[in-house]
């Protein structure tokens, strides 16, 4: 088991890569997490390192395509850092992003806490704690290269490939009566390339994904808090993006969200 000092040192190593735009192939063996518990222990230091309370949580690898993309066999959770959360229509620095993909997602804002407990939360219990639902775009990245060989424990330590996140306006309250598993999203890149997605790509249903993270965090003694945004994973195959480009995710009657990516000077 990693000691507190080892977990902190591992987090600081990954954090330096994030800030400097560099990558590593693996953490040094003494600092390398080997399971989910150790991965989340490393990840816990990013709130302190960022100097701001977290904005919420993300789920990576909620679809077969997403799992294949980063080489894991199931979902993993990460923290949304406040400095990397943007409003609808924002222009984001492309930076050193090597994954160079964006993902249309359903994001839930919690209205009340779901603290850790021994019994799993049901989907209905979790939905009752939700305030609003939003269209969102996640722009992931990893501090490991190649990402496919890092493994789940290191990718959890890598904040589940969190990077930038764009939150759209709240969807109409009619979302509560909508079958999100069958709800489609159309993605336009640079005003012309069209990609299709559906809620069923997110663990079968974004609401199921939300319950998954509530229970994943509960098992690790963390819990969801009121005000946190939880983005539930991509509805479509990760979509290539490039500096100077743009992306719009259209959720039909439930709304849309867009982002632009600054040219590299």
17 φ, ψ (degrees, to nearest 5): -60, -45
pLDDT mean by block of 10 residues, the chain; 265 residues: 97 97 97 97 98 97 79 93 98 94 97 98 98 98 95 97 98 98 98 94 97 98 98 95 97 98 86
Do 231 and 61 form a contact (C-beta atoms < 8 A)?
no
Alpha helices in the chain (DSSP H): 4-20, 36-43, 46-50, 64-70, 123-128, 152-157, 206-219
Position 5 in a domain: no
> Which residues partner with 81 through β-bridges?
54
pLDDT computed for residue 146 by the predictor? 95
Do 160 and 141 form a contact (C-beta atoms < 8 A)?
no
Full residue range of the structural domain in which residue 225 is found: 53-261
Position 200 in a domain: yes
- Which residue's entry shows tokens 């993909």? 101
pLDDT computed for residue 128 by the predictor? 98
Position 192 in a domain: yes
Asked whether the CA dihedral 27, 31, 34, 38 is positive or negative, the reply is: negative
Number of domains in the chain: 1
Distance CA 199, CA 183 (A): 6
Position 27 in a domain: no
Position 79 in a domain: yes
Position 45 in a domain: no
Position 19 in a domain: no
State the CATH number of the domain containing residue 62: 3.90.850.10
């Amino acid at each position: 088991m990693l000691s507190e000092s080892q977990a902190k040192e591992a987090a600081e190593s990954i954090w330096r890569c994030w800030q400097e735009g560099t990558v590593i192939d693996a953490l040094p063996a003494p600092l390398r997490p080997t399971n989910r518990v150790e991965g989340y222990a490393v990840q816990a230091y990013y709130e302190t390192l960022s100097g701001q309370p977290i904005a919420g949580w993300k789920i990576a690898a909620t679809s077969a395509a997403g799992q294949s993309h980063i080489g894991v066999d199931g979902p993993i959770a990460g923290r949304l850092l406040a400095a990397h959360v943007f409003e609808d229509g924002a222009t984001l620095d492309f930076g050193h992003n090597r994954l160079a993909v964006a993902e249309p997602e359903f994001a839930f804002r919690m209205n009340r806490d779901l603290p850790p407990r021994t019994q799993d939360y049901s989907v209905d219990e979790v939905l009752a704690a939700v305030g609003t639902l939003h269209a969102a775009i996640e722009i992931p990245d990893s501090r490991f290269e190649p990402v496919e060989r890092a493994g789940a424990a290191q990718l959890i330590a890598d904040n589940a490939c969190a990077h930038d996140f764009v939150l759209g306006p709240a969807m109409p309250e009619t979302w509560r009566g909508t079958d999100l598993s069958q709800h489609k999203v159309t993605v336009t890149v640079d005003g012309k390339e069209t990609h299709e997605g559906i809620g069923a790509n997110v663990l079968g249903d974004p609401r199921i994904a939300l319950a998954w993270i509530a229970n994943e965090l509960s098992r690790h003694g963390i819990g969801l808090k009121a005000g946190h945004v939880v983005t539930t994973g991509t509805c479509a195959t990760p979509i290539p993006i490039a500096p100077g480009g743009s992306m719009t995710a259209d959720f039909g009657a439930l709304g849309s969200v867009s982002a632009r990516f600054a040219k590299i000077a």
